[in-house]
Amino acid sequence: MSRPAGLHTRYDEEIALLRNRADRVWLVLLAVLVVATPFTIEDFWLSVLTFTAISAIGAIGLNLLTGFTGQVSLGHAFFLGLGAYTAAYLGGDLGLPVLVWLPAAGLLGALAGVLIGPFAVRRKGLYLAIVTRGLVFLGEYLFSNLRSITGGPQGRAIPSPVIGPLNFADLEGSLGLPLGREQSFFLFVGPILAVAIIAAKNVVRSRPGRAFQAIRDREIAASIIGVDVARYKVAAFALSSFYAAVAGALLGSYLRHVTPGSFDLFVSVQFVAMVIVGGVGTVYGSVFGALFIVLIPRVV
The pLDDT tens digits of the residues spanning 200-228 come to: 999 998 898 899 888 888 888 888 888 88
C-alpha separations of 263 from 14, 119, 124, 225 in Å: 45, 22, 24, 39
Return the pLDDT at 9.
Answer: 53
Query: For all residues of the chain together, what is the average pLDDT?
Result: 84
CB 244 within 8 A of CB 83: yes
The closest of 19, 35, 25, 62 to 191, measured between CA atoms, is: 35
Dihedral sign, Cα of residue 151, residue 153, residue 159, residue 161: positive
4: alpha, beta or left? (left if phi > 0; alpha if psi -120 to 50): beta
- How far apart CA 86 and CA 93 sit, in angstroms, is 10
- Which position has the higher pLDDT, 26 or 141? 141
Q: pLDDT class for 64, splitting at 50, 70, 90? A: very high
Residue type, 287: V
Return the pLDDT at 27.
Answer: 65
Residue 279: CB partners within 8 Å, gap ≥ 6? 67, 285, 286, 288, 289
Q: pLDDT class for 87, splitting at 50, 70, 90? A: very high
Most confident of 31-45, 116-130, 157-171, 219-233: 219-233
CB 184 within 8 A of CB 171: yes
Return the pLDDT at 19.
Answer: 59
- How far apart CA 4 and CA 105 sit, in angstroms, is 51
Mean pLDDT value of segment 40-69:
90
- How far apart CA 228 and CA 248 sit, in angstroms, is 30
Q: Is the pLDDT at 7 greater than 50, yes or no?
A: no
Residue 278: CB partners within 8 Å, gap ≥ 6? 59, 63, 284, 285, 286, 287, 288, 289, 290, 292
Distance of CA 3 to the CA centre of its chain: 41
Return the pLDDT at 101.
Answer: 94
Residue 84: CB partners within 8 Å, gap ≥ 6? 105, 158, 248, 249, 251, 252, 258, 262, 263
Residue 232: CB partners within 8 Å, gap ≥ 6? 69, 208, 211, 212, 215
Q: Is the pLDDT at 18 greater than 60, yes or no?
A: no
The closest of 81, 250, 83 to 160, measured between CA atoms, is: 250
Interval 267-286: pLDDT, tens = 999 999 999 999 898 998 99
